[in-house]
């Protein structure tokens, strides 16, 4: 772990190849939150590829339009949703249609981390 950040809407843990975000209960995530994400990625991953992992522990809503902006982050190589909840997985399948980069849905965090590391390592070997 490189760092841990707490905001009023989420907790973010930053690692070498990925970030893990846990949104707070009842939040409505809109494109406005992208400014914060971009600031974090510019600080911690200025020239390095990374993967965004959202660990959906709590119930919250996501405006799918957020993914159009999120996908514009050049060094963001993929997006993973982790949840054991059926509804969260169904929602993620809909969100997946709005994201133009690799987007995977996992039941456990370890699988998402393995996928994230593979994605970043593959990206490094292709450059």
Q: What is the pLDDT of residues 11-57, one digit of tens each?
A: 999 999 999 999 999 999 888 888 888 899 999 999 899 999 999 99
**What is the CATH classification number for the domain harbouring 14?**
3.30.750.24
The answer to whether 107 touches 80, Cβ cutoff 8 Å, is: no
Q: Give the total number of structural domains in the chain.
A: 1
pTM across the whole model? 0.92
For residue 108, what are the domain limits?
3-125
For residue 125, what pLDDT is reported? 75
What does the buried/exposed string (b/e) look like for 57-72 if buried means 16 or more CB atoms within 10 Å of the residue's CB?
Answer: beebebeeebbeebee
Are 12 and 45 in contact by the 8 Å Cβ rule? The answer is: no
Q: How do beta strands 3-6 and 18-23 pair?
A: unpaired
pLDDT, tens only, 72-116: 899 999 999 999 999 989 999 998 998 989 999 999 999 999 999
pLDDT the model gives residue 116: 98
3-state DSSP assignment of residue 90:
helix
């Amino acid at each position: 772990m490189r760092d841990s950040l707490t905001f009023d809407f989420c907790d973010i843990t930053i690692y070498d190849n990925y970030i893990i975000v846990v949104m707070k209960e009842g939040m409505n995530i809109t494109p406005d939150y992208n400014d914060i994400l971009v600031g974090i990625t510019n600080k911690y991953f200025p020239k390095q590829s990374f993967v965004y992992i959202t660990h959906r522990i709590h119930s919250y809503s996501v405006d799918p339009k957020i993914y159009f902006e999120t996908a514009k982050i050049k060094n963001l190589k993929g997006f993973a949703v982790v949840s054991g909840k059926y509804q969260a997985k169904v929602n993620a399948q809909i969100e997946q249609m709005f994201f133009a980069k690799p987007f995977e849905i996992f039941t456990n965090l370890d699988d998402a981390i393995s996928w994230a590391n593979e994605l970043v390592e593959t990206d490094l070997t292709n450059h």
